Structure 1
Amino acid sequence: METTDAAVNAKTTRPCPQCGSTVPVCERYVDWCAACDWNVDPGAPDPRRGRIAAARRRLAQGFGEQLVAGLEQTAGSAPPARDVSTLLALGIALLVHSVTVLLVVGGVLLVVLGWDTGVQPVVGVLLLAIAAVLRPRPGRLPKDALVLYRADAPALFALIDEVGAAVGTHGVHAVVVDAEANASVTTYGPRGRRVMFLGLGLWEILRPQERVALLGHELGHFSHGDVRRAWITAWALNALSVWHYTLAPTPAVKLLDRFVNAATFLPRWGVYGLILLLDRLTLRASLRAEYLADASAARAGSTQGAVGLMDRLLVTESVDAELRRQAVAARMRGGRDGREARLAAEEGLWERLAERIGDFPEREFERLRRVSALRGHCVDSTHPPTHLRRRHAAAAAAGPALVSYDDSRAALLAAELAPARAALARMVISDYAG
């Protein structure tokens, strides 16, 4: 069932305490004034945990406005393949990796040439152990993940291939299906095979062309490139993060703790400065790649599908809340009835989730869009603010979808994903209710 503005307006109304305008009242949603934004954001701002994540969010918000304005003026043309910031970022990444190389060389020399002292080999082994932690390593598929390959879901992979062709790239080698309200792509293994992470928490609440737009956005990262996703910079950021974690201060319980914290003060802040510098040099290009991936989403799934996708990203917190509510409701019933309630909760979980989110009125989406602008809502600390992404997608000339998602295709995909949907429903109800 879909709730419209008429259904919301059918509820009672009251005057806005700030400007006197009429405010519709609906018990399921926040009361707010569209005229003056009274009570548009009654909750506390999103937490910004971690100094590095907070700094990245500030950079993302600062660059976001500049980039969306520039892309609108240049009609979204691609950036130069190598600008000064990119070259500097690559230089810093090579410098970081050279430290790992020096640790390996130094460790080997100490082990091989220092046997007469007895101490040098121990130091050499320690250096090699540190280098092993910092070494670049290819990604791996997560353990115990629900992984689909081409033979498992031919219709899904055919859709991904078609979307990939529409955005100028090819498909993926594996799809990891989970319960998250998110999606992403990356590579795994020494051969750099492609994998897509597809969260049912997001997939199930999307309309047909929004699903195509989601695939277009994720595959667009491969077609447009992203210096931040390149192995040389990605692994350098990972190494710096390991250094930052290792050098983090410990509670000063003993005198030795104070000494160690003092000794690591300068290296710790030096590493932090390098992370910020590498972030600043790569984040602008990375954010631009996100906007270009959004353009790929509109090209594959239509402008309307891309804009609708941005709206659905604003309600991902409600997805988690709804899944938790379903699990808790099943847990409240004990005994045999409780077991039957869990089975019933598992059976129709994703359908009820889609119905609940599809029941959101346009007025609530408008409120969330305004909250997004106020808070600078981002999918994560490396994405542009969602309201700017939506603005950029909506400003593009309306275009038809290059890839269709009709009823027959929907039926095939539903059949292929049915085992994964059932398994993840059991996991969600068990985890949240346990």
Structure 2
Amino acid sequence: MSSPAAPAAPTPPADAPPGATPHTCPQCAAPLDADPRFAVWCPRCEWNLVPEHDAATDPTTPAAPATPRERAVAARTEQLYQDLAAGRTASAGRRDWLAAAAVASLVHLVTTALFGWALWLLVTGSTPLRCLGAAALAVVVLLRPRIGRVPRGESVLTRSQAPALYGLADRVAAELGARPVGVIRVDRSFNAGLAVVGLRRHSVLTLGLPLWEALDEQQRIALLGHELAHQVNGDHRRGLWLNAAIGALAHWYDLARPRRHAHWAGFRLLFHVAGLISNAVLHSLAWLLMRTLFLLDRLTARAGHQAEYHADTLAAQAASTEAARGMLKALLLDGAAGTLVSRVRAGHQSRPRTTRRGAADAQPASPASQASKAPQASPADTLWDRLRDHLAGVPPLERERLLRRSARDRAAVDSTHPPTHLRLALLAQRPPLPAAVTTSPAESAAIATELAPHRLRIARSLLAP
């Protein structure tokens, strides 16, 4: 696929400041440094900082959440950062955790009570009541808390298959005082995560291969350090009691959402009335469940964000502050990585393919011409090299845009992670730490060899139509 055309130069509006030209900002007339691969924006006034929203909002207006709830979330996020930057740890987080534990206990109590009632009906009830008890027991099975299971399949690397990668993860875990990882798996996401599953609480480390390939050696250690730090950073939401309650509530809400009902011929009015009544009941129940989920999110957000900041600190302890900051900055390049993959996929799909008939009619090539043709690597073979080159070539101006966009979207971050720009700022305010864990060239080569089959498999899945 050919390279994308350069974006059109901005046209100065009628009320543009004096001196504005197609090569200057249409709002403040500052010179624009355009890169044909990325959005054109103005670092001085932040014109076109968020291109997809630029036509609908005033980009010079400071970021302001649209709703009171979003404004409250942004204010709490900023306040927590200020507290941690100043070395303050308030007791509000502990009170919130106790309240969240009480709500989780109520959720588990409801499930247990329903289970006990179903058993009582099955044992002591009449035939109609036993039918009701069986139905209630089926509901309990549907609404039971999910604790996860150890993954299996081609994405999982066992210790015998990847001794070098497990060895590095074990050294990072030992440095942080965490348990050795139980299972490592790789997927196609530009992300990473740690989950604790099963009754025996096995830790499952998921490494997104696109992100892994975008990092250097020390940044990869920082990524391992951040994820393994979730075992020791005090994040109560990852505990069995609270995590199971949140999962159960989410599943209850999904089942309680009102749905359309089919109307049988001859009973259209009856089913319409019954549907209205059932939807009203389900709507009220779903609203209550959603409000409970919002309450748990509100009660655990501060502790969760604080745990993420602590995980960043532990990542810096393992890999160095510089590597931890580099890893966080790489997380902002998710969009650039997706653009490159889409470009390679489109180019691969647009390549002409010789049909069987055409191949039969084609003249056989001479041995000399066959010998002169060097074998060409497939897009899947070269995807990771192209991805690394593309992300390494992202100019500082685009990286600055992504960082400022993170600051503008501070109220839109998910409830489990603070904004990236605040995480970077907090690491910058703390004393720099040297690397405690490093890798040798031989160890790095061994890890690359262990991941080689997965690199090809995931590359092919990313480029598949």
In 1, Cα distance between equivalents of 2:375 and 2:70 = 42
Structure-1 residue corresponding to 2:293: 275
Q: CA deviation at 1:59?
A: 6.5
Amino acid at match of 1:373: A
Tell me whether 378-387 or 399-408 shows the greater mean CA deviation. 378-387
Asked whether the equivalents of residues 301 and 415 of structure 2 are also in contact (C-alpha less than 8 Å), the reply is: no
Q: CA deviation at 1:36?
A: 1.6
Which residue of structure 2 aligns with residue 48 of structure 1? none
Give me the whole-angstrom Cα distance separating, in 1, the residues matched to 2:69 and 2:122.
41
Alignment of 1:109-124 (within 5 A): 109-114=120-125, 116=126, 118-124=127-133
Q: Which runs of 5+ in 2 are unaligned?
A: 1-21, 55-66, 263-271, 357-373
Shift of 1:143: 5.2
The 2-side partners of 1:264 and 1:208 are apart by 52
Name the CA distance, whole Å, in 1 between partners of 2:420 and 2:146: 32
Which residue number in structure 2 is paired with residue 407 of structure 1? 441
Work out the CA distance in 1 between the residues paired with 2:93 and 2:26. Answer: 54
Matching residue of 2:18: none
**Letter of the 1:34 counterpart:** P
CA–CA distance in 2 between the matches of 1:313 and 1:105?
47
Deviation by residue 1:165-219 (Cα, 9 ceiling, x = unmatched):
2222132011011111010001223211111000001111112221111111101
Q: Distance in 1 between matches of 2:200 and 2:207?
A: 22
Deviations 1:124-169 (A, max 9, x none): 1111111112223431134545101211111111111111122221
Does the Cα contact within 8 Å between 2:93 and 2:303 map onto a contact in 1? no
How far did residue 15 of structure 1 move?
2.3
In the alignment, the residues of structure 2 paired with residue 242 and residue 220 of structure 1 have an alpha-carbon distance, to the nearest angstrom, of 28
Distance, in Å, in 1 between the alignment partners of 2:448 and 2:334 is 22
Match of 1:364 in 2: 398
Who is 1:49 aligned against?
none
Q: In the alignment, residue 143 of structure 2 is paired with which amino acid?
A: L
Equivalent residue number for residue 389 of structure 2: 355
Pair 1:69-2:82 in alignment: yes
* Alpha carbons 1:319, 1:357 under 8 Å: kept: yes
Determine the C-alpha separation between the residues in 2 that align with 1:355 and 1:320: 14
The alpha-carbon distance between structure 1 residues 55 and 323, as it changes in their structure 2 partners (threshold 3 A), is farther
- Which of the residues 231, 236, 251 maps onto 1:227? 236
Alignment pair present for 1:95 and 2:106: yes
For 2:413 and 2:42, how far apart are their aligned partners in 1? 26
Question: Offset at 1:380?
Answer: 3.9
Q: What is the match of residue 64 of structure 2?
A: none
Q: Any stretches of 5+ residues in structure 1 without a counterpart?
A: 1-12, 46-53
1:312 to 312, 330, 344: 330
1:377-420: per-residue Cα shift (whole Å, max 9, x none)?
Answer: 87744211111111112222112111113433321211111111
Task: Indicate which of 29, 35, 45 corresponds to 1:20.
Answer: 29
What SS is found at the alignment partner of 2:245?
helix
Alignment of 1:2-401 (within 5 A): 14-44=23-53, 61-74=74-87, 83-114=94-125, 116=126, 118-142=127-151, 144-251=153-260, 254-336=272-354, 344-376=378-410, 380-401=414-435
Counterpart CA distance in 2 for 1:405 and 1:378 is 37
**d(CA) in 1 for partners of 2:72, 2:80:** 12
Q: After superposition, what is the alpha-carbon deviation per residue over 1:13-62, rounded to whole angstroms, capped at 9, x for unaligned?
A: 932222222211221122222222122221239xxxxxxxx999777544
Contact kept in structure 2, 1:330 and 1:341, CA below 8 Å? no
1:60–1:382 Cα contact (<8 Å) kept: no
SS at match of 2:23: strand
TM-score (norm 1): 0.87
2:121·2:132 contact (CA, 8 Å) conserved in 1?
Answer: yes
How many pairs are equivalent? 407
- Please say which of residues 370-379 and 101-110 is displaced more in the overlay: 370-379
Whether the 8 Å CA contact 1:204–1:350 is kept in 2: the answer is yes
Q: Distance in 1 between matches of 2:388 and 2:134?
A: 55
**Conserved? CA contact 1:111–1:121, under 8 Å:** yes
| Same amino acid, percent of matched pairs | 37
Q: Identify the structure with bigger relative contact order (alpha carbons < 8 Å, sequence gap 6+).
A: 1
Q: TM-score with structure 2 length normalisation?
A: 0.81
Given that 1:220 and 1:296 are in contact with CA atoms closer than 8 Å, whether structure 2 keeps it comes out as: yes
Query: Cα distance, 1:119 vs. partner?
Result: 1.1
342 and 250 in structure 1: CA distance in 2 versus 1, 3 angstrom threshold: farther
Shift of 1:273: 1.8
Q: Contact conserved, 2:49 with 2:401, CA < 8 A, in 1?
A: yes
* SS class of match (1:43): helix
Rate the CA distance shift 1:57–1:244 in 2: closer, same or farther, 3 A.
Answer: farther
Q: Equivalents in 1 of 2:408, 2:375: separation in Å?
A: 40
Partner of 2:9: none
State the SS of the aligned residue for 1:195.
Answer: strand
Letter in 2 for 1:220: A
Moved more, 379-388 or 200-209: 379-388
Q: Rate the CA distance shift 1:399–1:337 in 2: closer, same or farther, 3 A.
A: farther
The amino acid of 1:150's aligned partner reads R
**CA pair 228-73 structure 1, distance change in 2 beyond 3 A:** same
RMSD, matched Cα: 2.7
Q: 1:395 to 1:378 in 2, by over 3 A?
A: farther
Question: More displaced, 418-427 or 261-270?
Answer: 261-270
Quote the residue 2:365 is aligned against.
Answer: none
How far 1:343 moved relative to its partner? Answer: 6.6
Structure 2 CA distance for partners of 1:383 and 1:82, relative to 1, 3 Å = closer
Q: Is the 8 A contact 2:197 2:204 kept in 1?
A: yes
User: Per the alignment, do residues 233 and 41 of structure 1 end up closer, same or farther by CA in structure 2, a change over 3 Å counting?
Assistant: same
